Structure 1
Amino acid sequence: MSAPPLVAVVGPTATGKSDLGIALARALGGEVVNADAMQLYRGMDIGTAKLGPAERAGVPHHLLDVLDVTETASVAAYQRDARAVVERLRAAGRTPVLVGGSGLYVQAVVDELDFPGTDPTLRAELEAELAERGAEAMHARLAAVDPAAAEVVLPTNGRRIVRALEVIALTGRPFPARLPTAGPPRYDAVLLGVDRPVAELDDRVARRVARMFAAGLVEETRTLLAAGLRDGLTASRALGYQQVVAALDGDGDLLVAAEETVRATRRFVRRQRSWFRRDRRVHWLDGAATDLAEGAMAHVAARVSS
């Protein structure tokens, strides 16, 4: 069959997206483009479940290990870099397979999402206010000027609250108004979602976190701390690493850190599911199905031939 211009494999953490992405890339003569914000970082391997070279089955992967932990990940920069990779692969006759659970990053590639610039003076003022008043007070301010934005930005995410207030001030428009409605995706992309029943996924998350701690997550975190993890506005908030750092800075109870990682990851999974389920273009697949790859290929084939 003819290869599609772009396939995106999305959905919550721990559903099996990475393996499906590799299977599709091999079947379609393609290459994987990472859409997991935390896998952009060098050295953040165990805690992000990043596939090692041997696990990639010879399939080239792009946009892994491109940032130091001290650098701040930017959706605008990711959009520029990911689209450049997608277009380069397409020009070479290769099928890009976009794989990841960072919803805004996926949307930045497949939708006409624009990113207003920043005003250093305004940003500094908002960040100073954040430091003085705290994230919850800033979130209340956001709710007063843009209730819809406050619904989609977590009250604890000071960086996103500041960005939302900055964009509102710069554009004079509500923050979510910049997010496009779901029309035909860019590159005529085929969007595949992978999910599992809630109870099964909760169990998979617990087992995944246990494997990470057994595989050396604490030692990896210590190495990243030496490389400046505390200074990374984005990387320092990564699930698992955040909880290990809190334990190392506190009473050293790594069992509690593991339990907190499980709880935080389960909450994150629910937010991911809510984000992706809103997109009616996504064709959902059961990650537990024994014929998952075949089902995905069948849908891709039907879309290409239609």
Structure 2
Amino acid sequence: MAAIKKIAAVVGSSGIGKSKLAVELCKALTGQVINADALQVYKGLDIITNKMPMDEREGIKHHLMDFLEPEEEYKVTSFLKDASQKIEYISSKNELPVVVGGTNYYIQSLLWNNTTIGDQRSASCEPEDTDFEFPEFDLLETSELYNRLAQVDPVMANKWHPSDRRKILRSLRIYHQTGQPQSEIVKSQKDHYEMHGLQPRYQTLVFWIYSDPVKLNPRLDARVDQMIDTGLFDEIKDLRDRVVQGEVKMPGIELEKYQRGLWQAIGYKEFDPYFEALEGGGVEPELLEKIKLECTERMKAATRRYAKSQIKWIRNKLLPTSLNSKDNQVIVYCLDAGNLETWDKNVKEKAIEIAQAFQMGQSLPEPKSLSEIANTMLTLETQMKDTQTKILTWNKHVCETCKTEKGEPLVLNGDKEWEQHKKGRYHRKYLKHLKMEEMRKAYFASKQAPAAKEPCDIH
């Protein structure tokens, strides 16, 4: 039986320095980079997709980057196939494959078996990893799609919010492609995991580069400003012109306009109001500048939210899964990148030392021993429930007390959201209001009762 291959993976939030560390590892250990960023696969558009400049790659070979046309989509099943082939190729040259990127469902599909629809018909929760298209669904309103899902897979309908079109569509597509409700596939997958355990594809050394958001967020904001200064608007304008000229096609359905392929890139949709005002003409310079600043802040906020979601995935999915991996084949180290002035000492040198021991089959240090940050982040309470358990135990709650703007009962998705709602100021304030209203009605009712019971005079 062939020995399991060794790879390294670099993960972390946007703007943390993943590509930098990947190049440093490849230089020190003789390796090649495999891109795991769903946007950096596209040709050109280097600024909006945050590709590492060529001069900073220092001659290190980068695979699966800069090869796809803008209107095409790169599914996770295609990534899995291509990345696996690249790992075989790089390993055959006795070099270390270093996977780097922020697209978490790419990383997930590569590190573990049975996490994509195309892999033994399993059912990952990620909405992007399905290969199947059903154009007729695009013509239906989200409410109709939700009703259809409720008929064929009520468990998944109960999980998704009625307005979450992407996830509703995904569950419907899985049902129509496989002939099975996604919830049943998930249950089967869960049973398989409980019987056989998690199945890593490779012996993987994962470096999680981390910085406290308080320190990271200003760096993210500065990077957006740098992107604008170095030509972001030129890239957006060129792409918009190509769309107008018919050279590039956007998704035809308005609701999915910015939810597929390249169009998900942070920056394109955020600056829509600015370019529409610019292209429309007749807008005063002061107003145009105001719109530009508002769009810039919108892009910065979206970038910060994305970085937060990446950290959430690492804490809630990568860490618990790696702890449950078979024979400890996936090991996660957290590197402190809070201070860029100490990058060499706290990130580069530690990563290289660990990776060299990993390659040579030597004993590795205890992950929590690297730093205070490592000890804190690797011992944080994580959501140890696997994805399958979360889906199968999901509860939807209806608050009959609180109403939406349309006057409908408020729907809360999941126990956590329900508990937060019950403790929320609005809910408690409204309950108090209702109680006072009942007391008021009772008071007036008691005042009217004696008058109603007074006997009439009999003569």
| 1:293 and 2:293 matched | no
SS of residue in 1 equivalent to 2:10: strand
| 1:258 and 2:265 matched | no
Maintained 8 Å contact 2:33/2:100: yes
Q: Supply the distance in 2 between the matched residues of 1:139 and 1:237 (Cα, whole angstroms).
A: 27
**Selected match of 1:305 from 333, 354, 362:** 362
Alignment of 1:45-60 (within 5 A): 45-60=46-61
**Selected match of 2:117 from 112, 115, 122:** 115
Alignment of 1:14-53 (within 5 A): 14-53=15-54
Which position in structure 2 is the counterpart of 1:207?
A: 222
TM-align CA RMSD? 3.0
Maintained 8 Å contact 2:8/2:97: yes
SS of residue in 2 equivalent to 1:44: coil
Q: Supply the distance in 2 between the matched residues of 1:294 and 1:65 (Cα, whole angstroms).
A: 30
Q: Post-superposition shift, 1:149?
A: 5.7
Alignment of 1:94-173 (within 5 A): 94-112=95-113, 113-116=115-118, 120=133, 123-129=134-140, 132-133=141-142, 138=146, 145-146=155-156, 150=160, 158-169=165-176, 170=178, 171-173=180-182
Change (3 A) 1:167 1:66: same
Which position in structure 2 is the counterpart of 1:218?
A: 233
- Letter aligned with residue 305 of structure 1: Q
Report Cα offsets for 1:201-241 as digits up to 9, x if no partner. 11111011010111111111111223346615311121012
Q: Supply the distance in 2 between the matched residues of 1:39 and 1:19 (Cα, whole angstroms).
A: 15
- Letter aligned with residue 234 of structure 1: G
SS of residue in 1 equivalent to 2:202: helix
SS of residue in 2 equivalent to 1:59: coil
Change (3 A) 1:188 1:221: same
Q: Supply the distance in 2 between the matched residues of 1:139 and 1:35 (Cα, whole angstroms).
A: 36
Q: Post-superposition shift, 1:115?
A: 2.2
SS of residue in 1 equivalent to 2:271: helix
| 1:236 and 2:263 matched | yes
SS of residue in 2 equivalent to 1:218: helix
Maintained 8 Å contact 1:243/1:260: yes
Report Cα offsets for 1:100-159 as digits up to 9, x if no partner. 111001112111133247665xx2232222xx3379x759967953168638xx966x44
Maintained 8 Å contact 2:23/2:60: yes
Report Cα offsets for 1:167-193 as digits up to 9, x if no partner. 144332327666996835322111111
- Letter aligned with residue 116 of structure 2: D
Greater Rg over alpha carbons, structure: 2
> Please, which moves more after superposition, 20-29 or 227-236?
227-236
**Selected match of 2:318 from 273, 276, 279:** 279
Change (3 A) 1:238 1:188: same
Which position in structure 2 is the counterpart of 1:187?
A: 202
State TM-score, norm by structure 2.
0.58
Q: How many residues align?
A: 295
Change (3 A) 1:293 1:140: farther
Q: Post-superposition shift, 1:61?
A: 0.6
Maintained 8 Å contact 2:17/2:209: yes
Q: Supply the distance in 2 between the matched residues of 1:230 and 1:190 (Cα, whole angstroms).
A: 40
SS of residue in 1 equivalent to 2:32: strand
SS of residue in 1 equivalent to 2:51: coil
Change (3 A) 1:11 1:30: same
Q: Post-superposition shift, 1:9?
A: 0.2
Change (3 A) 1:235 1:155: farther
Change (3 A) 1:138 1:273: farther
Q: Supply the distance in 1 between the matched residues of 2:353 and 2:232 (Cα, whole angstroms).
A: 38
Larger relative contact order, structure 1 or 2 (CA cutoff 8 Å, min sep 6) = 1
Maintained 8 Å contact 1:139/1:150: no
- Letter aligned with residue 54 of structure 1: D
Change (3 A) 1:279 1:215: same
Gap runs ≥5 in structure 2:
119-129, 252-259, 279-287, 323-331, 364-459
State TM-score, norm by structure 1.
0.85
SS of residue in 2 equivalent to 1:88: helix
**Percent of pairs with identical residues:** 28
SS of residue in 2 equivalent to 1:269: helix
Maintained 8 Å contact 1:25/1:31: yes
Q: Supply the distance in 2 between the matched residues of 1:16 and 1:300 (Cα, whole angstroms).
A: 17
SS of residue in 1 equivalent to 2:269: helix
Change (3 A) 1:250 1:119: same
Change (3 A) 1:226 1:82: farther
Which position in structure 1 is the counterpart of 2:306?
A: 268
- Letter aligned with residue 137 of structure 2: L
Q: Supply the distance in 2 between the matched residues of 1:43 and 1:99 (Cα, whole angstroms).
A: 19
